[in-house]
Amino acid sequence: NEGSLWGGRFSSGPADVMAALSKSTHFDWKLAPYDIAGSKAHARVLHRAGLLTEEELAGMLSALNRLGDDVASGAFVPADTDEDVHGALERGLLERAGEDLGGKLRAGRSRNDQIATMVRMYLRDASRQIASGVLDVVEALAVQAEQHPETPMPGRTHLQHAQPVLLAHHLLAHAWPLLRDVERLRDLDRRLAYSAYGSGALAGSSLGLDPAQVAQELGFDGPVENSIDGTASRDLVAEFTWVTAMIGVDLSRISEEVILWATKEFGFVTLHDSYSTGSSIMPQKKNPDIAELARGKAGRLIGDHTGLLATLKALPLAYNRDLQEDKEPAFDAVDTLALLLPAVSGMIATLTFHPDRLAELAPQGFSLATDIAEWLVRQGVPFRVAHEVAGECVRLCEQHTPARELHELTDQELAAIHPALTPDVREVLTVEGSLASRDALGGTAPARVAEQLEAAKQRVAEF
């Protein structure tokens, strides 16, 4: 049975529906280069164990190299009869090395340890590629922050005006979680760095093959300690899809703000024409589609993760065919982020912020009330009282039609609310004064934010 890795004990081939359900070449073909690398390492180990002569090893490696070239050029592709990447590549090897030599490669390995190893190799490469895309987003945020070192904006909690902050401070608040995502990918790589090769189907190999040698040749730190774990666990794939889901969520939170900021009501930013879309009926429209797709695709990335967890739940040891379902979610997460990350970094890099609008809104909504309270505390007033007093200032402003802002209260009105409220309080009743006063580490004072920017850039440079 051409392209099949089993069949001896069967009197019939698979039913069409069996073959159709079983087939995975339409997605696992992505792993072909890793499988060929694994096969070369495996051939060397067979040779070392005395199971391939010097000449056979040379013939095997040459056939595998030719097969690798043909896979890369597209001259060799899976056939309809191939069940999976492993079967297709064995067919390709037999065509190139001949049945006698090619048929020797499969000794001492199983698709179960092969696939577990290939997936790890794939995820290690994918992690590096994703990390670089995430760092580009961080960079775009940092460049915007750098261009607006003094621009204030309304900081919000509950989406209500809370306290003024620097735009740069806010932008960098999106950068740190992304930097942690990169760190998570790096950290995951330490666990991905163990090869399952040599685990066989589940129990290990009896042929005197050295898993450590394969591991080293494939760039792993070593082989897994337990062959059952090596073939049956997919926690690392799930950890990967958790990180990709988290990246999706982090991009979605940035995007949600961009969507709000680009509305007429906010008016904080204008999107670049090349990073926005129009409407087929409304000529005036300029839509934040990248941000909306990022928000939407976060749902998809979360689905990749939760779907995989649901597949893994309650699977008995060791290998079960359910495990084949690990690949599409992981691949989908990688493909999704490959599209999304450059679009989001481009969108952020090309945003035009409107500093006047941001500055105008920064003190509105009584966002300096906390500054009054904290100023009173510095005059020796207990915070409980100070909080009440500042609240009364807000109430007095609101009684007026139209409502006044805190700095519009007269000296007499302030003194009438509390004797400690002297005209000196006005030093914190400006956005600049408020920002400058929050000068503890991590605060929004311009000097602190400048340091923070340097720290973020330093982190990027370290990765």
Q: How far is it, in rounded angstroms, from Cα 376 to Cα 383?
A: 8
Query: Do the beta carbons of residue 290 and residue 343 sit within 8 Å?
Result: yes
- DSSP assignments along 256-275, one per residue: HHHHHHTSTTT--EE--GGG
Q: How far is it, in rounded angstroms, from Cα 403 to Cα 385?
A: 24
- Can you say whether the dihedral through the CA atoms of 228, 243, 191, 30 is positive or negative? positive
User: Can you give the C-alpha Rg of the chain in angstroms?
Assistant: 31
Longest C-alpha distance within the chain, in Å? 102
12 included as an active-site residue: no
Query: Do the beta carbons of residue 193 and residue 220 sit within 8 Å?
Result: yes
Q: How far is it, in rounded angstroms, from Cα 124 to Cα 221?
A: 12
Among 35, 56, 84, 304, indicate the residue that binds ligand ARG (CB under 6 A). Answer: 84
Give the residue with the Cβ less far from ligand ARG, 275 or 319: 319
Residue range at the interface with ligand ARG (CB under 6 A); choices 177-185, 259-267, 317-325, 402-410: 317-325
Residue appearing with tokens 């940092």: 142
Closest separation in Å from C-beta 36 to ligand ARG: 16
Among 270, 324, 350, 437, indicate the residue that binds ligand ARG (CB under 6 A). Answer: 324
Active-site pick, 22, 62, 132, 279: 279
Q: For 385, left (φ over 0), alpha (ψ -120 to 50), or beta?
A: alpha
Closest separation in Å from C-beta 194 to ligand ARG: 18
Closest separation in Å from C-beta 463 to ligand ARG: 32
Task: Cite the beta strand spans of 314-445 per DSSP E.
Answer: 352-353
Closest separation in Å from C-beta 314 to ligand ARG: 17
Closest separation in Å from C-beta 85 to ligand ARG: 7
Query: By CB under 6 A, how many residues form the interface with ligand ARG?
Result: 11
From residue 41 to residue 80, what is the string marking binding to ligand ARG with x (rule CB under 6 A)? ----------------------------------------
Give the residue with the Cβ less far from ligand ARG, 115 or 369: 115
Strands 194-195 and 222-223: parallel
Residue range at the interface with ligand ARG (CB under 6 A); choices 146-154, 267-275, 315-323, 393-401: 315-323
Active-site pick, 12, 158, 206, 274: 158
Written as six digits, the tokens of 392 are 């009364």
Give the residue with the Cβ less far from ligand ARG, 125 or 187: 125
Is residue 24 at the binding interface for ligand ARG, with CB under 6 A as the rule? yes
86 included as an active-site residue: no
Closest C-alpha to 430, from 350, 380, 363, 377: 363
Residue appearing with tokens 């001492």: 108
Give the residue with the Cβ less far from ligand ARG, 319 or 353: 319
Closest separation in Å from C-beta 357 to ligand ARG: 54
Within positions 103 to 132, which residues make up the interface with ligand ARG, using CB under 6 A? 111-112, 115
Among 245, 323, 381, 386, indicate the residue that binds ligand ARG (CB under 6 A). Answer: 323
Q: How far is it, in rounded angstroms, from Cα 301 to Cα 319?
A: 25
Please give the positions annotated as active site: 158, 279
The residue ranges that bind ligand ARG (CB under 6 A) are: 24, 28, 84, 111-112, 115, 319, 321, 323-324, 327
